[in-house]
Amino acid sequence: MATPGGLIRAARRGTLAQNMVVDRIFSGIQPTGTPHLGNYLGAIQNWVNLQEEYSSVLYSIMDMHSLTMPKEPALLRQNILDTTAAILACGIDPKKCFLFRQSLVPEHAELAWILGCITNVPRLLRLPQWKMKRASQSNGGTVGLLTYPVLQAADILLYKSTHVPVGEDQVLHLELAQDIAQHFNKKYGEFFPVPKAILSTTKKIKSLRDPTVKMSKSDTQKLATVNIVDSPDEIVLKFRKAVTDFTSEVTYDPANRPGVSNLVSIHSAVSGLSIEEVLHQSVGLDTAHYKMVVAESVIQKFAPIRNEIKKLQEDKSHLIQVLEAGAEKAKELATPIYQEIRRLVGFQ
């Protein structure tokens, strides 16, 4: 039989184990269907590397976030499966990370409510995504659109994540998550690690038709965005029509030559070469010929991925099983953390 002293020591060991901070990655992607070139180079390629470097990694299909912009249910269901197929084809391995659908872990939404109760509305109103996206909604913006950065914070903090890979446009949202974690810790005692950013080293990929804005799936110009399932002919056409300038030399000068500099960034990211190495290889090429060099690099990069996506899309039950199995693992990790949060705030 355990002695009182032994029970106390065991309890202390349990507390110490619970308070140990494990380096943990969390990131998510909205289910918009098959990703485009910018998604792949800016996020997914980095995800593949991080699952090799960290022992605790969670990647989520953010279906709850997708409701902030109107979606037909049937389209959302298909987009979830297509996005899952794409990131698996790109190299995400469910044996090396937890890959799951956000809405299958209800603690995300429950924690978002708790965190929303310690977050000031003026802070949310200042976020640029709110100002930008509300303009596209006829009703002036929904509550979900305003508060989804709090849900993002809950996504991260629910697992006591320590590192979050982010792009430049998400830095302010991560700063909000950091502030929320610190506010919670001040109010209820040290509990959440303050998550740190892992910034992508890839230059932001710009639209092929307007190199002053980032590449986007919602771009109305069909030639502006390269999707990873585009055929070789489609990729060649889009790069041939890419906006550059009247100087034929290939140089890297984003401020003064954004179009050709965007091509150099894409070439560098797809090939794994540095900007300097790409420029050295391109000496003597004019921009018209260089566009075809970049197009061929993209075609070669995406050919095996495109074939794997098609194969995975034919087996929907496998995709569903991957997401459900990942959700079960995520729940196992989240449940004890969330139960302690409930105790801290007075729910139990």
217 is catalytic: yes
What is the tens place of the pLDDT at every residue in 83-101? 999 999 999 999 999 999 9
pLDDT interval class at 20 (50, 70, 90): low
> For position 168, what pLDDT does the model report?
77
Residue 36 has pLDDT above 50, yes or no: yes
Q: Which position has the token pair 């953010």?
A: 62
Summary mean pLDDT of the chain: 91
CA distance 312 to 103: 22
Secondary structure letter of residue 169 according to DSSP = G
What is the tens place of the pLDDT at every residue in 154-168? 999 999 999 999 887
> For position 202, what pLDDT does the model report?
79
CA distance 149 to 156: 11
214 is catalytic: yes
> For position 131, what pLDDT does the model report?
77
Give the length of the chain: 348
For each of the domains in the chain, give its residue range(s) and CATH number, in order of start. 25-204+316-345 (3.40.50.620), 232-312 (1.10.240.10)
Choosing from 204, 217, 316, 329, the catalytic residue is 217
CA distance 310 to 145: 33
Residue 8 has pLDDT above 50, yes or no: no
CA distance 225 to 214: 9
Choosing from 203, 214, 238, 291, the catalytic residue is 214
| 3 state DSSP class of 220 | coil
133 is catalytic: yes
Q: For 276-305, what is the mean pLDDT?
A: 96
CA distance 42 to 159: 24
Joined together, the tokens standing for residue 102 give 């956000």
Q: Which has more pLDDT, 131 or 345?
A: 345
Choosing from 71, 96, 133, 331, the catalytic residue is 133
Which of 136-145, 148-157, 283-292 has the weakest average pLDDT?
A: 136-145
Q: For 68-86, what is the mean pLDDT?
A: 94
Distances in Å between the Cα of 267 and the Cα atoms of 95, 143, 250, 258, 264 are 31, 41, 12, 14, 5
CA distance 289 to 248: 10
Q: For 66-74, what is the mean pLDDT?
A: 90
The answer to whether the beta carbons of residues 148 and 116 sit under 8 Å apart is no
Strand-by-strand arrangement of the 57-61 sheet = 98-101, 57-61, 25-29, 163-166, 196-199
State what percent of residues in the chain have pLDDT above 70: 93
- What is the torsion angle, in degrees rounded to the nearest 10, for the CA atoms of residue 93, residue 234, residue 41 and residue 181? -80
> For position 7, what pLDDT does the model report?
39
> For position 2, what pLDDT does the model report?
44
CA distance 344 to 348: 8
- Please count the helices (runs of H) and the strands (runs of E) in the chain: 15, 5
